[in-house]
Structure 1
Amino acid sequence: MVIQQTPAHQPASEYEEGEQRMSTPVPTPKADAATPAAETTPAPPAPAATSPQAPPVAATPPATAAAEPEPPPKTFIAPSPGEVITSLLTNNTYTMGPQIGEGSFGVVFQCVDGWNNQLAVKVLKPIKTFEEVQAAAEGEMQRLFLLRHPFVTYVYDSFVYRDTFYIITERCDNSLAQLFAEPWFHGHVWLMPVARCLLQAVNFIHNAGFAHQDIHLGNVFVATVRNEMNPEDPGAAQFKLGDLGITKLLSDLSPQNTRAKWMLPPEVINPSEFGPIEHRTDIYHCGLLLLQLAYSTEMRFTQEETLAGKPREMATQLPAPLNFALEKALRRHAAMRTGTAQELWRDLNSPGPGAAELITPDPAEPRPPDTPKASEQPSAPAPPEGDRK
């Protein structure tokens, strides 16, 4: 930025004299009426040279200002345990802890702030240019602030330190993926509490006009609510959906969006046959997550198995009402799938057509045990046999 300086103050007499000189027109000689103005008069031709013509001399290019030196390249510097970093945005100070996780786009560390809040810091990996990582960090922060919900991991702060982007969130105890390694873990016991929290978060995100696109066991976390009267109390457990790094507006969904290759839904693999690509990709991912809890086993399906409908087939083998609810959520054709997260929650809490043998008939409403009530019928019309998978 160039700053224009004001000239020093002149004495009044000199100023008036200078102003008079500037305002008085300078007399010009009268031009001959037959002579055109000077600026339009062509210059007379140069006399013919009598000696051999010298070779033309190359014009000297105008002097140019020296190019500014390029700034040093920006480098990624991960935090060290015990390092203390202060955010200029909030003036909060964070003491870094050990690494506790790593994803495709970031590394997660423990940290504690000045209020003794147990937090986590996501440090974005420099897998792209600084400007691209900056845009990704700002986008994720905007989504985290916009999509604040009791069952979405809470964001506290964000800043840049030593060319590295930090996002501070609440710290959760474990991801669901970590629980599968515990000998005491029985997924079916956890299924309904997880579903209640997760589906509320997904329903909120969809109502806001977004799709998460990355719902899996590693992105759903166990969080505990602090007991302020007894800090040693482990607190009450809740489940929260995290990592909104590739969350998109529903209008921006396309096959080209960044997604985990190992959990692509059928409509992304083959949009022309199984599309459209919309919010029900999240419903499919919720179905996959709950299916793994029901079997208490981590599963990954190949694209061939996904297109063949193997997840849905496994869901039909579960007891009621899981068989009905998850079979519907895991249908290959998106248009025939469960429509909303709220509908999936209702299906999980109703017997469903596949559980007729477990239904105790209501004496006030006698009906054959294999005929479900109208309220228990699936919302979508029954498709042809090939489309129900």
Structure 2
Amino acid sequence: MDRSLATRDSPTSNRDRTGRPSDESSAGCPTTSSTTRCLTSRWCRPPTPHPPPTRFARCGGTSASRWAATEQQTASDGPRATGCEPRTIRLSILRTNLHLDAFLISRKNGRFSTMVQAWLPNVGGRIENPNTGAYYTIGNQLGEGGFGFVHECSDASGRPRVAKFAKPEGVFGEVQQRWEAECRLMQSVSSPHIIRLYDFFCYGNVFWMVMERAKCSLRKHIAARGPFGDRDVVVSGHHMLLAVRELNSKGIIHRDLHIDNILWSESLEWNALKIADFGIAKQLPFAGAVATTRIGRAYDVAPELLRAGYTTHQSDLYQIGLAMFFIHTGTEALGATDGLPHAAILSGNARSRAEQLNTPLGNFIAKLLRRSTEHRYQNAQEAIADLAAIAPMYGVRL
């Protein structure tokens, strides 16, 4: 299998003393007779994946490297990897008006940026952990998030898994850092109600995560089967709160607990909800710390982010309240009919609608949805204790 490098690791390689790319390799990669076509009208071989799983080694680029994916097809005699199809990545200086596709290595204001090629498999193709040799067969796309795509996959034994890869967009080093952070967070937690991370590696200059596969998202499950009964709402709420308790015990706030990131898992033994997608999760440095990044989905962010500009572990409890209201009623607590997101969230409509259920369970959800953190549950354990107190009313022992 021919796995020669298609890009240089050093951003200053292949240039003369003037700082221009050298004539003999102005495309920044070696020529070969068994090749694929680049946008630079040069021939280059597919890149060799570098092995970052334990130390997160740099993978074929520098922090100045920038990715901009294009869907242009390349020559059919492309990469040797089974079922892989190259998606040509051309250099774009994304934060300026300058667009370059003449050279792999180009000069801008005295600094060099290096194009990085990303290689993605077709359906039925394989990805491989270069450290362990473990391989996975890629299936259909399941979804897309802000930073990545999710596909069905199976391991060498045919067991169902999910493969997520980081979108090859923007600055290579920044994409790598986001991927590393998500992997570290998922490795640090252990709960039957959090999607499990099985493997992670860089293959073909693309950052992959292989995870446990659930049946579908909470949104799709409710759309297919309708709202949960009271008993199932209590059990499901308990599952979500257990997951949040585990996250908070490690100083992690998820910040993106909406009904597309909470998954329905179904088996012969038991059914459960599982939390997924740690793309914007954050580990706080010490107890009482807050996160100040304004990030999240429009109608799902906690009121304190809009009022005070921060989120805490209590913000996850607010989002659990939104999810519980949805599985109980089949409708979202807030939406476009409530007006602009900022006004809708601060209006208190979400809590009012939960209170209008006029049940102990509705009152429990309403407390999760309080706009003021002083009146909301202070932590997941406190919420679990309250839920356990009303659970016998619905025939459940927690």
Task: Tell me which of 120, 132, 141 is aligned to 1:90.
Answer: 132
- Alignment deviations for residues 94-125 of structure 1 (CA, whole Å, 9 cap, x no partner): 11111111111111101111122210001111
User: Is 2:139 the counterpart of 1:100?
Assistant: no
TM-score by length of 1: 0.67
Q: Determine the structure 2 residue equivalent to 1:315.
A: 354
Shift of the 82–204 alpha-carbon distance from structure 1 to 2, 3 Å rule, reads: same
Shift of the 76–178 alpha-carbon distance from structure 1 to 2, 3 Å rule, reads: farther
Q: Determine the structure 2 residue equivalent to 1:345.
A: 384
User: Is 2:293 the counterpart of 1:256?
Assistant: yes
User: Is 2:185 the counterpart of 1:185?
Assistant: no
Q: Determine the structure 2 residue equivalent to 1:242.
A: 276
Paired residue secondary structure (1:78): strand
Q: Determine the structure 1 residue equivalent to 2:318.
A: 284
My pick for the range that moved more, 135-144 or 83-92, is 83-92
Task: Tell me which of 188, 192, 203 is aligned to 2:245.
Answer: 203
Shift of the 191–81 alpha-carbon distance from structure 1 to 2, 3 Å rule, reads: same
My pick for the range that moved more, 302-311 or 281-290, is 302-311
Letter of the aligned partner of 2:194 in structure 1?
V
* Identity fraction in percent: 28
User: Is 2:308 the counterpart of 1:267?
Assistant: no
Q: State the 1:295 CA deviation.
A: 1.1
CA RMSD of aligned residues (A): 2.4
Q: Determine the structure 1 residue equivalent to 2:160.
A: 118
Letter of the aligned partner of 2:227 in structure 1?
H
* 2: CA distance, partners of 1:119 / 1:211: 25
Q: Would the aligned equivalents of 2:130 and 2:203 in 1 still touch at CA under 8 Å?
A: no
Shift of the 259–75 alpha-carbon distance from structure 1 to 2, 3 Å rule, reads: farther
* 2: CA distance, partners of 1:331 / 1:250: 23
* 1: CA distance, partners of 2:291 / 2:270: 39
Q: Select the structure with the greater relative contact order (CA < 8 A; seq sep ≥ 6).
A: 2
Q: Determine the structure 2 residue equivalent to 1:160.
A: 202
Q: Determine the structure 2 residue equivalent to 1:334.
A: 373
Paired residue secondary structure (1:91): coil
Q: Determine the structure 2 residue equivalent to 1:294.
A: 328
Query: More helix per residue: 1 or 2?
Result: 1
Runs of 5+ consecutive residues of structure 1 not aligned to the other structure: 1-63, 226-233, 353-357, 360-389
Mapping 1:21-170, distance limit 5 Å: 65=17, 67=19, 69=21, 70=105, 73-170=115-212
Q: State the 1:308 CA deviation.
A: 1.2
Q: Would the aligned equivalents of 1:255 and 1:277 in 2 still touch at CA under 8 Å?
A: yes
- Alignment deviations for residues 130-175 of structure 1 (CA, whole Å, 9 cap, x no partner): 1110110111111111113221101011111222111110111111
Q: Would the aligned equivalents of 1:321 and 1:350 in 2 still touch at CA under 8 Å?
A: no
* 2: CA distance, partners of 1:250 / 1:149: 19
Q: Determine the structure 1 residue equivalent to 2:42.
A: none
My pick for the range that moved more, 166-175 or 341-350, is 341-350
Mapping 1:202-221, distance limit 5 Å: 202-221=244-263
Shift of the 318–123 alpha-carbon distance from structure 1 to 2, 3 Å rule, reads: same
TM-score by length of 2: 0.65
* 1: CA distance, partners of 2:118 / 2:150: 15
Q: State the 1:270 CA deviation.
A: 1.0
Letter of the aligned partner of 2:282 in structure 1?
K
Shift of the 323–298 alpha-carbon distance from structure 1 to 2, 3 Å rule, reads: closer
Paired residue secondary structure (1:262): helix
Letter of the aligned partner of 1:89 in structure 2?
N
Number of aligned residues: 279
Q: Would the aligned equivalents of 1:180 and 1:298 in 2 still touch at CA under 8 Å?
A: no
Q: Determine the structure 2 residue equivalent to 1:374.
A: none
Letter of the aligned partner of 1:291 in structure 2?
F
Larger Rg: 1
Paired residue secondary structure (2:260): helix
Q: Determine the structure 2 residue equivalent to 1:19.
A: none
* 2: CA distance, partners of 1:262 / 1:123: 26
